[in-house]
C-alpha cells in the first residue's frame, strides 16, 4: 500500500509563557519564563510552591470561542485545548464547519487529568455529591470531567466527522496523539487530522506529584530558576498546564488547497519498557527508550547523522543524565558529534499530558523558522551529562541556524516512550 | 411580589450564554419556546434552572422544570416561587 506523505499545516498553543503561536515563538526566542510563586500552594503545605499556567487573563475568550463555551466552561484543561485547537484550525486556513459535518477530517486530542482540574474547587465541587445535593452538578460535570471532554468540546466548534479520539498516556499523550494522527493519515483513512493534548493546572493535579517528592521544592524563593533541565542542581520538575495543537494533512490535500506547510512528519514510534529491566511505573527502561528512538529514525527513513536538533523530554529531575545516555546510545553520537539538544521546560515547566504537544509546537517553529531556543538555568551542566556530550550541544542562548531535521521525544509514567522525526518540507 | 420586567431581564441574562451564535438576546420574547424557538440545547435546561435558583434564591423541583417551556412559563415559575 502506498503511504501518503503527511505535513503540518496549522499550529496552536496555550503555554505557561504565552498564549498563541506568535507570542510563543517570541517567548521561546527571548527565553521567557512562565513559572511563578503560587501562594495557594503554600497555603495547602505543598513543598513545591511554584508552577506555570497559561494566562487566561491575557485573552478575551469571547474573541476566540462560541459564547456558551467562553462564558460557561471553567475547566482550564478544556479551555486551553479550545484555544490551541481553534487557533491551529484557523492557522491552517480552515474555518469551523457551521452547517455540514466534515467527514474527511478527524481529531486525536488527548488529556491527562481533566477531572482533577482546579475547576472542581469552584463550580462543580465533589462536595455536593456527599452532601446529597448532586442535582447542583448541572449538565456539564460529565462532559468537563470525561477524558474525551477536551476533544468533545473542541469538536462542538469544528464539526469534524472522521475519527474523533482521545488518548491518555501521561507525559507522552501529546506526541502520541500526533504520531497516531500521522499514522492514520499516512494509511489514507482521512485527509486531515487535528492532533494535540491538554492538561489543566492547580493543586488537585499537582498535590499527588508533590507527595511523590518529584517536584522542585527548593526554588520557592526563586521561581524562574526552579525548572533547570540538565543542570547539576536539577531537583525535580516544576508543574504546569497547557495545550498544543497541530493540524496534519496529507501532502496531496495540503497542496491541492495551497496550504502553508510548516514541515513534514517523516515517521515515529511509540513503545513501552514493560516496566521491566529498569523500567517501573515512573522510571524508563533504557533498552525501550533506545528501541523507541532507533525505530522512529528507521521508520522515518533517515540516518542519525542527519539530526540537527533533539527536543528532549528532560524534566529537570535526576532522570536527565539517564535520558542523555539513552540518546547517545540510540544515535551512536557523543561528545562534539552529538546534535544540539533543548527543551522548553526550563521556561514553562512540565505540563504533563500537555507537554508533548506544547513542545512539538516549539519543535515545528524551530524547524520552520531556523532557530534553536535556549535552555535556561543550565550554567552548570550535570557532570554525568558532560561525560557523554560536549557542553556546547546544550544552547544557553537563542541561536539562528539552519534546522532541517528534528527528533522529538517524550517519556511517561507507565514506562511509555514516543519519538517523532520532523523535517523541513521539500518537494 | 417581584416586578415582572425585572425578572424577565434577569432571566434573559441567564439564558443569553446558552443561545446559539445566530440567535440574539433581542430575539428572546415571552412567547418563545426555550428549546424549539430559541434552539437551546435541552441538556442546558438544567443549567439554566440552577442559575435561576441561585439568582432568585428559590428551589425548582424536577416536575416544575417540565412546565418551563416558554420564557413566559419560566417567568411565571419565578414569580410564583418568589411570592411564596
Position B2 scores a pLDDT of 82
Q: Do B17 and A66 touch (CB under 8 A)?
A: no
What 3-state DSSP class applies to A9? strand
Domain end position, chosen among A223, A256, A289: A256
Position A2 scores a pLDDT of 75
Neighbours of B10 (CB within 10 A): 17
Question: Of the candidates B16, B19, B44, which has its C-beta nearest A139's C-beta?
Answer: B44
Res. A146: pLDDT tops 90: yes
Residue ranges of chain B whose CB lies within 8 Å of a chain A CB: 16-19, 21, 43-44, 46-47, 50
Any domain includes A308:
yes
Any domain includes A225:
yes
Note whether A252 and A270 are same-domain residues: no
Note whether A75 and A144 are same-domain residues: yes
Note whether A334 and A243 are same-domain residues: no
Chain B interface test: which of A67, A71, A98, A142 (most B C-beta within 10 Å): A67
Tell me the chain B residues in contact with residue A139 when contact means C-beta distances shorter than 8 Å: 43-44, 46-47
Position A134 scores a pLDDT of 84
What's the first-to-final CA gap in chain A, in angstroms? 21
| Residue A408, C-alpha cell as written in the block | 522529538
pLDDT tens digit string along A362-379?
999 999 999 999 999 999
pLDDT tens digit string along A210-254?
999 999 999 999 999 999 999 999 999 999 999 999 999 999 999
What 3-state DSSP class applies to A1? coil
pLDDT mean over A47-70 = 96
Res. A123: pLDDT tops 60: no
User: What residues contact residue A125 under an 8 Å CB cut-off, 6+ apart?
Assistant: none
In a 10 Å sphere around its CB, with 0-12 CB exposed, 13-18 middle and 19+ buried, how is residue A258 labelled?
exposed
Note whether A251 and A271 are same-domain residues: no
Note whether A297 and A364 are same-domain residues: yes
Position A176 scores a pLDDT of 98
Which value, in Å, is the radius of gyration of the alpha carbons in chain B? 12
Domains located in chain B, CATH noted: 4-83 (1.10.1200.10)
Note whether A349 and A408 are same-domain residues: yes
Query: What CATH number should be reported for the domain holding residue A401?
Result: 3.40.47.10
| Residue A74, C-alpha cell as written in the block | 471553567
Q: Do A67 and B16 touch (CB under 8 A)?
A: yes
Chain B touched by A125 (CB under 8 Å): no
Q: Do B21 and A139 touch (CB under 8 A)?
A: no
Q: Do A140 and B46 touch (CB under 8 A)?
A: no
pLDDT mean over A187-211 = 96
Tell me the chain A residues in contact with residue B63 when contact means C-beta distances shorter than 8 Å: none
Percent of chain A with pLDDT over 90: 92
DSSP state of A306: G
Q: How far apart are CA A66 and CA B21, in angstroms?
A: 7
pLDDT tens digit string along B18-71?
999 889 888 899 999 999 999 999 999 999 999 999 999 999 998 999 999 999
pLDDT tens digit string along A22-49?
999 999 999 999 999 999 999 999 999 9
pLDDT, mean over chain A: 96
User: What residues contact residue A32 under an 8 Å CB cut-off, 6+ apart?
Assistant: A17, A18, A26, A347
Band of the pLDDT at A124, cuts 50, 70, 90? low
Least confident segment among A47-61, A112-126, A202-216: A112-126
Position A126 scores a pLDDT of 62
Q: What is the CB-side half-sphere exposure of residue A343 using CA atoms within 13 A?
A: 28
Position A427 scores a pLDDT of 85
Chain B touched by A140 (CB under 8 Å): yes
pLDDT tens digit string along A286-326?
999 999 999 999 999 999 999 999 999 999 999 999 999 99
Question: Of the candidates A71, A135, A139, which has its C-beta nearest B17's C-beta?
Answer: A71
Any domain includes A1:
no
Tell me the chain A residues in contact with residue B16 when contact means C-beta distances shorter than 8 Å: 67
| Residue A401, C-alpha cell as written in the block | 541556524
For residue A263, give the nearest of A273, A254, A271 by alpha carbon: A254
Note whether A341 and A283 are same-domain residues: yes
Domain end position, chosen among A256, A286, A310: A256
Residue A405 belongs to domain spanning: 266-423
Closest residue in B to A68 (Cα–Cα): B17
Residue A141 in contact with residue B46, Cβ under 8 Å?
A: no
Position A138 scores a pLDDT of 87
Question: Of the candidates A66, A68, A138, which has its C-beta nearest B50's C-beta?
Answer: A138
What is the number of CB-based contacts under 8 A between chain A and chain B?
Answer: 24
Position B56 scores a pLDDT of 95
Position A125 scores a pLDDT of 53
Minimal Cα–Cα distance from B79 to chain A, Å?
Answer: 22
Position B1 scores a pLDDT of 67
For residue A250, give the nearest of A104, A369, A363, A365 by alpha carbon: A104
Q: How far apart are CA A271 and CA A296, in angstroms?
A: 10
Directed axis angle between helix A173-186 and helix A355-369, to 10°? 60
Minimal Cα–Cα distance from B4 to chain A, Å?
Answer: 26
pLDDT tens digit string along A76-118?
999 999 999 999 999 999 999 988 999 999 999 999 999 888 7
Note whether A95 and A46 are same-domain residues: yes
What 3-state DSSP class applies to A195? strand
Q: How many domains does chain A have?
A: 2
What 3-state DSSP class applies to A199? strand
Chain B touched by A64 (CB under 8 Å): no
Query: What would the DSSP string read from start to end of B10-56?
Result: HHHHHHGGGS-TT--GGG--TT-BTTTTS---GGGHHHHHHHHHHHH
Closest residue in B to A62 (Cα–Cα): B17
Band of the pLDDT at A1, cuts 50, 70, 90? low
Closest residue in B to A138 (Cα–Cα): B47
Amino acid at each position: 500500500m502506498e503511504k501518503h506523505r503527511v505535513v503540518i499545516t496549522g499550529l496552536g498553543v496555550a503555554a505557561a509563557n504565552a498564549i498563541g503561536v506568535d507570542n510563543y515563538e517570541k517567548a521561546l526566542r527571548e527565553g521567557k519564563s512562565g513559572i511563578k510563586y503560587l501562594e495557594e500552594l503554600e497555603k495547602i503545605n505543598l513543598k513545591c510552591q511554584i508552577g506555570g499556567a497559561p494566562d487566561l487573563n491575557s485573552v478575551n475568550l469571547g474573541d476566540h470561542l462560541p459564547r456558551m463555551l467562553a462564558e460557561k466552561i471553567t475547566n482550564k484543561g478544556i479551555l486551553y485545548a479550545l484555544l490551541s485547537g481553534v487557533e491551529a484550525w484557523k492557522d491552517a486556513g480552515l474555518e469551523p464547519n457551521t452547517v455540514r459535518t466534515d467527514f474527511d477530517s478527524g481529531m486525536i486530542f488527548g488529556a491527562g487529568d481533566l477531572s482533577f482540574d482546579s475547576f472542581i474547587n469552584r463550580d462543580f465541587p465533589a462536595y455536593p455529591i456527599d452532601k446529597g445535593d448532586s442535582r447542583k452538578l448541572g449538565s456539564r460535570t460529565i462532559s468537563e470531567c470525561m477524558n474525551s471532554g477536551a476533544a468533545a468540546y473542541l469538536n462542538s466548534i469544528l464539526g469534524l466527522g472522521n475519527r474523533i479520539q482521545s488518548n491518555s498516556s501521561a507525559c507522552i499523550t501529546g506526541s502520541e496523539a500526533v504520531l497516531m494522527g500521522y499514522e492514520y493519515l499516512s494509511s489514507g483513512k482521512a485527509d486531515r487530522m487535528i492532533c494535540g493534548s491538554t492538561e489543566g493546572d492547580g493543586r488537585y493535579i499537582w498535590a499527588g506529584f508533590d507527595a511523590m517528592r518529584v517536584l522542585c521544592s527548593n526554588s520557592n524563593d526563586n521561581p524562574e530558576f526552579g525548572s533547570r533541565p540538565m543542570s547539576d542542581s536539577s531537583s525535580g520538575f516544576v508543574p504546569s498546564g497547557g495545550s498544543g495543537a497541530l493540524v496534519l494533512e496529507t501532502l496531496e490535500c495540503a497542496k491541492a488547497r495551497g496550504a502553508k506547510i510548516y514541515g513534514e512528519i517523516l515517521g515515529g514510534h511509540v513503545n513501552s519498557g514493560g516496566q521491566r529491566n529498569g523500567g517501573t511505573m515512573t522510571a524508563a527502561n533504557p533498552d525501550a527508550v533506545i528501541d523507541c528512538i532507533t525505530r522512529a529514525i528507521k521508520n522515518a527513513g533517515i540516518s542519525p547523522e542527519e539530526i540537527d536538533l533533539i527536543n528532549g523530554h528532560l524534566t529537570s529531575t535526576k532522570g536527565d543524565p539517564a535520558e542523555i545516555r539513552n540518546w547517545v546510545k540510540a544515535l551512536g553520537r557523543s561528545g562534539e558529534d552529538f546534535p544540539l539538544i533543548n527543551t522548553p521546560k526550563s521556561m514553562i515547566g512540565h505540563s504533563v499530558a500537555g507537554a508533548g504537544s506544547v513542545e512539538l509546537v516549539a519543535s515545528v517553529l524551530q524547524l520552520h523558522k531556523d532557530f534553536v531556543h535556549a535552555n535556561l538555568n543550565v550554567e552548570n551542566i550535570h557532570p554525568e551529562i558532560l561525560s557523554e556530550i560536549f557542553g556546547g550541544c546544550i544552547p544557553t542562548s537563542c541561536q539562528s541556524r539552519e534546522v532541517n531535521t528534528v527528533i522529538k521525544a517524550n517519556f511517561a509514567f507507565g514506562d511509555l516512550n514516543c519519538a517523532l522525526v520532523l523535517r523541513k518540507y521539500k518537494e | 411580589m417581584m416586578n415582572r420586567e425585572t425578572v424577565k431581564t434577569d432571566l434573559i441574562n441567564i439564558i443569553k450564554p446558552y443561545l446559539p451564535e445566530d440567535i440574539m438576546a433581542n430575539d428572546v420574547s415571552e412567547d418563545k419556546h426555550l428549546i424549539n424557538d430559541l434552539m437551546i440545547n435541552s441538556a442546558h435546561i438544567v443549567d439554566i434552572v440552577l442559575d435561576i435558583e441561585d439568582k432568585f434564591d428559590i428551589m425548582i423541583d424536577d416536575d416544575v422544570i417540565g412546565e418551563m417551556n416558554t420564557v413566559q412559563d419560566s417567568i411565571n415559575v419565578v414569580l410564583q416561587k418568589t411570592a411564596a
